Amino acid sequence: MKILVFGATGQVATELQLQGGDALTALGRDRADLTDPALCAEIIRQTDAEAVINAAAYTAVDRAEQEEALATLVNGTAPVAMARAAAERGLPFLHLSTDYVFAGQGSAPHRPGDSPAPLNAYGRSKLAGEAGIRAAGGPHAILRTSWIFLAHGANFVKAMLRLSQSRDRLDVVADQIGGPTPAADLAAALLTMAQALREGQPGGTYHLAGAEPTSWAGFARETFARAGRAVAVRDIPSADFPTPAKRPLNSRLDCATLETDFGIAQPDWRDGLERVLRDLERA
């Protein structure tokens, strides 16, 4: 099955290209800039692909507080235009979203049908995209995730390893709880879902995040332990590490319906971490 992917250099797009092979065409910003929604929609109208995956996004969470219009253009307006073009042709449209659409209250995992209430501009921009994609009326799947990591690009694992080169003690936030998610597992899930939707499987909104939930501090400790880095981690509250964009404290995601509908089990993020560390050693 031919698949058209928007995004070429991001973490999930990189894995999609590794796993999708010659049947997948990935378009970078030079060919499909999401600040031009009409162009992106026209590409879909002209494609010979049988499914479309949007793995491109505005992801600068803190900067979005000053650039909400731009974030909404890329994360909201463009995906909606793309979903409408895909719906016109009956093409499955798959889209990555985020745990940041939730306020993060309580401690129970968020289910796909729970009411969203984003705390920041980035979350609002992603929520706008979700609503428009559903309203487009075509076959679609929205896959929310959290805390993505890979050997490629900028992410928490690589930041911790970089800091460990010059520090033997780090303060890391411990009251934000979520599921670190290997990009490789996200890419595999999207490819499986694309094939299923093409064969007539109903879509909808789903969650995929790593198990078991942990804090950023716990994620850091596991990274250092597996990488053999002697770095002490001190737990701190979010209030001690203020950021322009407020983060949800509870980013746990209930992934049960993804396994029920598509047979995709929730991955163990520690297995993914081990793979990423091996990749970084070989780099």
Q: Which pTM does this prediction carry?
A: 0.95
Burial readout 182-210 (b: 16 or more C-beta within 10 A, e: otherwise): bbbbbbbbbbebbbbbbeebebebbbbbb
CATH code assigned to 3-155+180-210+252-268? 3.40.50.720
pLDDT along the chain (283 residues), means of 10: 93 93 91 96 96 96 97 98 97 97 95 96 98 97 96 89 92 96 96 96 96 96 94 95 95 97 96 94 78
pLDDT of residue 283: 67
Nearest to 59 by CA among 93, 26, 34: 34
For the chain, what are the domain ranges? 3-155+180-210+252-268
Determine whether 206 is an active site residue: no
d(CA 179, CA 213): 5
**From 58, 100, 122, 206, the catalytic residue:** 122
Among all chains, which residue has been given the structure tokens 């307006």?
77
